[in-house]
Copies of this chain bind each other. A is one copy, B any other.
């Protein structure tokens, strides 16, 4: 039997998190299609009735996965994005901390990717996805705008820079997955160099012409 509000209790939310983490593991190792209620329960060595008990529906469990990882990543970024002495420094920190998160949280990122890729099939996730994407880009746009206003960055579209940077960083998770020996520190160095060039305050030949 189900209590009036099973989520409130202390052990209740602990169970929920435990289940969510199990879901993340299954998602990462077996993919979205293979992540059934039964598979998650098996990994947890628990009857699948528990999942129905702690989560009204599978969609909410998957939403939980998305928010857990997003929050985790956000707090990671928050911890590292302490005030830099320059906007360019902030850009460097942004790149470095994003890539280090990808490196150290491969399971979470893989799980997130699986759910987001199948967002359409999960009620409520598409909105979550779009919102997080928009927020990430918006924050970057603000950074580039501020840097340009301060004269640190040259004349390039902030939105374009933001979109390109995010796309490149996001694509990195696939590279890591395909090649476990992927050289992330080299990648970070080259990516930083690329965006330093792209944002350089010096005008190019073409712009002078």
> Which A residues are within 8 Å of any B CB, using their own CB?
31-34, 117-118, 120-121, 130, 133, 154, 156-157, 159-161, 163-164, 166-168, 170-171, 174-175, 178, 187, 190-191, 193-198, 200-202, 204-206
- Which of B161, B171, B187, B191 contacts A170 (CB under 8 A)? B171
Find chain B residues with CB under 8 A from A120 CB. Answer: 31-33
Known: A202-B205, A205-B200. A191 touches B117 (CB 8 A): no
Known: A168-B163, A202-B202. A197 touches B156 (CB 8 A): yes
Find chain B residues with CB under 8 A from A201 CB. Answer: 205
Known: A120-B31, A170-B167. A198 touches B194 (CB 8 A): yes
Find chain B residues with CB under 8 A from A32 CB. Answer: 118, 120-121
- Which of B117, B118, B197 contacts A204 (CB under 8 A)? B197
- Which of B31, B157, B200 contacts A121 (CB under 8 A)? B31
Find chain B residues with CB under 8 A from A121 CB. Answer: 31-34
Find chain B residues with CB under 8 A from A174 CB. Answer: 133
Find chain B residues with CB under 8 A from A168 CB. Answer: 163-164, 167-168
> Other CB < 8 Å A-B pairs besides A163-B168, A164-B191, 15 of them?
A117-B117, A117-B118, A118-B118, A133-B174, A160-B190, A164-B164, A164-B167, A167-B168, A195-B198, A197-B200, A197-B204, A200-B200, A200-B205, A200-B206, A202-B202
Find chain B residues with CB under 8 A from A187 CB. Answer: 160
Find chain B residues with CB under 8 A from A198 CB. Answer: 194-195, 197-198
| Minimum C-beta distance from A196 to chain B (A) | 6
| Minimum C-beta distance from A113 to chain B (A) | 9
Nearest 3 pairs between A and B by C-beta? A117-B117, A167-B171, A33-B121
| Minimum C-beta distance from A125 to chain B (A) | 12
CB of A194 within 8 A of CB of B157, answer: yes
A33: nearest chain-B partner, CB-CB? B121
